[in-house]
Structure 1
Amino acid sequence: MAKTRTFIAVEAVDQVHASAMSVIDRLRSATENVKWVEPDNLHWTMQFLGDLSDVEMAEVCLRTVRTAARHEGFTMEARGVGAFPSIDRPRTLWLGAGEGHHRFCELQADIEAALESLGFRGERRQFVPHLTLGRVGQGSHGGSVLSERLAKLADFDGGAMGVDSVTVYASELSREGPTYHVLARAPLS
């Protein structure tokens, strides 16, 4: 039986999308060893679910739609640029969340709880809302130039966006990178 790589996220829209692209442009010359996220793939990940059967996908979509409907739409600002695990040893480069991040975390926790009985366990780490910009290549930490640029962007104002839906995506991997397909949109009330 075929399985589909699946995750749940909020699309980056409006000014935040443009801001994310602006940050990528500012960081691009700092190091050559980064795989940058394609513009069409920018999103705020809520939960990665892995490879799912069609039956599992249908149930995930249903529960995500029901859960999202219990939450009101809100505005979230993009604020600060950073890296996991740290700006001194960057592996994943991201745009962070400012005002509205508490509402985003509540929505994420509620979706995670709705899927738990299906066998999906959340991260052991505390959830941190972020929009991934790029990943530093294996065997590299980006160098001091990248760390310095990240430090200068720690208070970056990326604008605000309305969060009015959650999307369940299928991710198809290829040599060119991932391609995302919408499985379900879950509107907030």
Structure 2
Amino acid sequence: MVVPQTAQTQRLFTAIALPSEHKKELRRWVEQDVNELSFRKWTDFRDYHVTLQFLGDVATKDIPELEQALFQAAAAHSPFTLGIGEPGTFGRDGFPRVLWRVVTGQKDCLNQLHQSIVQATEPLGFKPEERPYRPHITVARSYTGQEPVPASIFQSDDRIGKPWEVGEFVLYATRMGQKPMYQIIQTIPLSRRNP
């Protein structure tokens, strides 16, 4: 099902989109605390999300079948609560390739949703990632500074809003070169049944 990207394909992934207010608060943190750091690419605040599964280049004709599998996966899950935690990095200490904010809240529920999506898409030909699932919100990529990232950016920040209820996830298509870069092509609600 995963095919090279052409006019007949779309690059897709599933994710939890952040509420608008949380996106704005995260943008304020970037502008006030870390905007002076030298990163090659800053995430457009409208694109802030928590990735569930990267799917790759998918034939447009196969998207309805994928969506059906995602709706079935979502039906097994009730809404849960997430929040935004401390900053962190991936890559070499002081010279990170990714700057992110950790996800807090009901992470067991998040991990279970991730697993359900992976299990639902695998029969369609999507391969699970080999590395462990580490939910986060990417803020910037490819640090280019000459000096290490200052430790001060990892200090406590209580300006990010209260936790929010996750009642759905989305299927995003990547639109390279556009801002925002991610376009929602389907919203998949979680079941409202009690767990």
TM-score by length of 2: 0.84
* 1:123 matched residue in structure 2: 129
- Distance change in 2, residues 1:156/1:92 (3 Å): farther
Counterpart contact for 1:165–1:186, Cα < 8 Å = yes
Alignment match, 1:52: 58
Aligned partner of 1:186 in structure 2 is 188
Contact 1:74 1:162 in 2 (8 A): yes
Go from structure 1 to structure 2 and tell me whether the alpha carbon gap of 1:63 and 1:142 turns closer, same or farther (over 3 Å shift): farther
1:162: how far off? 1.3
Distance 1:23 1:125 in 2: 29
Contact 2:46 2:180 in 1 (8 A): no
Question: Cα RMSD (Å) of the superposition?
Answer: 2.1
- Alignment partner for residue 91 of structure 1, among 86, 89, 97? 97
Q: Is the 8 A contact 1:91 1:141 kept in 2?
A: no
Letter in structure 1 aligned against 2:40:
V
Quick one: which of 26, 35, 46 aligns to 1:28?
35
Please state if 1:105 is matched with 2:111.
Answer: yes
List aligned pairs for 1:68-79, cutoff 5 A. 68-79=74-85
Q: Can you list the C-alpha shifts for 1:62-107, whole angstroms capped at 9, x where unaligned? A: 1111111210001112111101135533111111112211211110
Unaligned runs of 5+ in 2: 1-6
2: CA distance, partners of 1:115 / 1:89: 35
**Aligned pair 1:165/2:168, yes or no?**
yes
Query: Counterpart of 2:105 in structure 1: which amino acid?
Result: E
Residue 86 of structure 2 aligns to a residue whose secondary structure is: strand
Structure 1 unaligned regions, length at least 5: none
Q: Aligned match of 2:141 in 135, 148, 160?
A: 135
Aligned sequence identity (%):
25
Q: Which amino acid aligns with 1:132?
A: T
TM-score, normalised with respect to structure 1: 0.86
Runs of 4+ with >6 A deviation = none
